Amino acid sequence: MKPSDSRTQLHEALLQWYAERGRPLLWRRTPGDPYQVLVREVMLQQTQVARVERLLPRFLERFPTVQALAAAPLAEVIRWWQGLGYNRRARLLWECARRIVEDYGGVIPSDPGLLTRLPGIGRYTAAAVATFAFGRQDVPVVDTNIARALQRLLAETLPPRVLLQRARELIPPGASVQWHEALMDLGALYCRKRRPLCGQCPLRSWCRSAGREVQELSSGTRGEPHFQGVPRRLWRGRLLRLVATVGRITLEEVAAALFEAPPTPQQRRWLRELVAGLVRDGLLQSRRGWLMLPQ
């Protein structure tokens, strides 16, 4: 930001833009209770917004409360999760609901520190729930879009801990929810990873890197394994959808369904590794040669 510009002006510019141009997402039109916020934030961890908008209402209709989710069989939760991908999140969300019922009497905690102790809830999701469900003013929510926008705004590539502190300092008094939603939209619509639309950005007058890109911190994660040109997560999803549809199935039947021709030795090895991973993650059970969803 330019020294002559005040932080108040920055806040006013972005919040005004958000009020007029923010994305009309489902949960912004009809805000939900803390349980609904928790479910949607877990879904949004690794699923596109449009898909979550489409599948969230269906999931909440079947599991309308944390108690309903906790009481449901895991196999049913996995079936209703289909279409969202990364199915391990379904099991973790189910375990999270059971812990909330058992340890907190069915009341979702508002403290990020307590939230991160729950299965499947990392620092970002805990911050998002604390902010969007409970209006916590002191908790910065920094996803990929927000991190990129802030680093470009400040023209600095900051370590995560420093970035969190700077993000906390920038939260406008009494408007944490709107501020973070506005930053998310800014990163998604204008401050894009490639070819940012600086000329259309409502913060271009304050942005120190307007018109040029600031290098983002590497996540340090390795690329996802592929087989036959398809990411492993999609193979896992295909296998689970198949099992969820038929109830139980043998490995040979899975191979026949997933591969057009009789499976090669390489395909068999890939399939065995895929099944073993799903069993380790608690998403499949193998009994006497049959594969099925966990009971």
DSSP 180-203: HHHHHHHHHHTS-SSS--GGG-TT
Q: Which domain holds residue 269?
A: 226-292
Q: Are strands 285-287 and 290-292 parallel, antiparallel or unpaired?
A: antiparallel
Flag the least confident range among 2-11, 100-109, 141-150, 203-212: 2-11
CB 22, CB 28: distance < 8 Å: yes
Give CA–CA dist 202/155, Å, rounded. 16
Q: Which of 12, 41, 53, 252 is catalytic?
A: 41
Q: Confirm whether 41 is a catalytic residue.
A: yes
Give CA–CA dist 105/248, Å, rounded. 35
- Give the pTM: 0.85
The CATH number of whichever domain residue 273 belongs to comes to 1.10.10
Location of structure tokens 């994660």:
221
Q: In terms of pLDDT, which residue wins out, 104 or 208?
A: 104
Residue 270 lies in a domain: yes
Residue 109, pLDDT above cutoff 80 = yes
**How many structural domains does the chain have?**
2
Looking at 68, 103, 134, the residue that finishes a domain is 134
Flag the least confident range among 17-31, 54-68, 236-250: 236-250
- What's the confidence (pLDDT) of residue 3? 45
Residue 246 lies in a domain: yes
Looking at 110, 134, 158, the residue that finishes a domain is 134
**41 Cβ contact partners less than 8 Å away, ≥ 6 residues apart:** 125, 128, 129, 132
Buried b (16+ CB within 10 A) or exposed e, 94-123: bbbbbbbbeeeeeebbbebeebeebebbee
pLDDT tens track for 205-251: 888 888 765 555 444 445 778 888 888 888 898 898 899 888 889 98
DSSP 41-61: HHHHTSS-HHHHHHHHHHHHH
Residue 2, pLDDT above cutoff 60 = no
Flag the least confident range among 8-22, 213-227, 258-272: 213-227
Mean pLDDT for 110-130 is 96
Residue 249 lies in a domain: yes
Q: What percent of the chain has pLDDT over 70?
A: 95
Residue 201 lies in a domain: no
Mean pLDDT for 36-40 is 97
Residue 77, pLDDT above cutoff 80 = yes
Looking at 102, 134, 166, the residue that finishes a domain is 134
Residue 268 lies in a domain: yes
Residue 269, pLDDT above cutoff 80 = yes
- What's the confidence (pLDDT) of residue 211? 72
Residue 46 lies in a domain: yes
Q: Are strands 230-231 and 248-250 parallel, antiparallel or unpaired?
A: unpaired
Residue 275, pLDDT above cutoff 70 = yes
Residue 38 lies in a domain: yes
The CATH number of whichever domain residue 35 belongs to comes to 1.10.340.30
Residue 9 lies in a domain: no
